[in-house]
Amino acid sequence: MRTLINIIVVILPWPLKKKILRTFYKYQIHDNAHIGLSYIFPKKLVMKEGASIGHFNTAIHLDYMFLGKNATIARSNWITGFPTGTTSKHFSHQKKRKSELILGNESAITKKHHLDCTNSIKIGEYTTIAGYNSQFLTHSIDIYEGRQNSKPISIGDYCFISTSVVILGGASLPSYSVLAAGGVLNKPYNENYTLYAGVPARSIKEIPHEAKYFNRKTGFIY
């Protein structure tokens, strides 16, 4: 029944849908934020001024979803999680796990990406998840313990994530960095102004601090 109600809400005109999401779902949505024809139903949703979610996105089974000022999720992205506080044995050993997506001010997720938010995915400000078909995977089977396990993913400010990458739980990309197309990021790095590439990804070369992408004042790029 709840799913049917959600579907009806999805297709309503935005002014009415926004009112319902604020009143009955208790979502915090700024007057200038917007959601298109997308199935976006985390437990808690916060959208700041200018934040937008386009058409044909799905976001389900998350505890929390946050979009900062002018943050955007474009089209056809699949965002899933595994909420905390359930009776399931899955991830019951991880008492401090957070199933959440946090997208910073002026950052963007483009099209046809999969974000597994079983654990926290934090994306900083002025960062672009570009291209298509990238995977952010925070959970997998721990073969040593014989159970499901999860680890957070962290992406810094002013990062550029190229097309068709894989980012695994426990990985982090430092601010002012680029992850090249097809790269697999499987551990934390800390060198800013760096191009990372390969399978698994490694530091390739330094990027000049003067690069205009790293010094822009607005997230959207024409």
How far CA 161 is from CA of 56, 86, 164, in Å, comes to 22, 33, 9
Residue 1: what pLDDT? Answer: 81
Would the pLDDT of 212 be above 90? yes
Spatial CB neighbours of 186, under 8 Å, sequence gap ≥ 6:
168, 170, 171, 200, 201
Nearest residue to 139 via CA among 110, 164, 168: 168
Query: Does the N-terminal peptide bond of residue 200 adopt cis geometry, omega within 30 degrees of 0?
Result: yes
| % of the chain beyond a pLDDT of 90 | 97
Question: What are the E-state strand segments in 1-92?
Answer: 28-29, 34-35, 39-40, 44-47, 52-53, 58-60, 64-67, 72-75, 78-81
186 close to 201: Cβ distance less than 8 angstroms: yes
Residue 99: what pLDDT? Answer: 98
Give residue 222's pLDDT band: very low, low, confident or very high (50, 70, 90): confident
Residue 114: what pLDDT? Answer: 98
Would the pLDDT of 193 be above 90? yes
The mean pLDDT of 6-24, rounded to a whole number, is 97
3-state secondary structure of 215: helix
101 close to 77: Cβ distance less than 8 angstroms: no
pTM of the model: 0.96
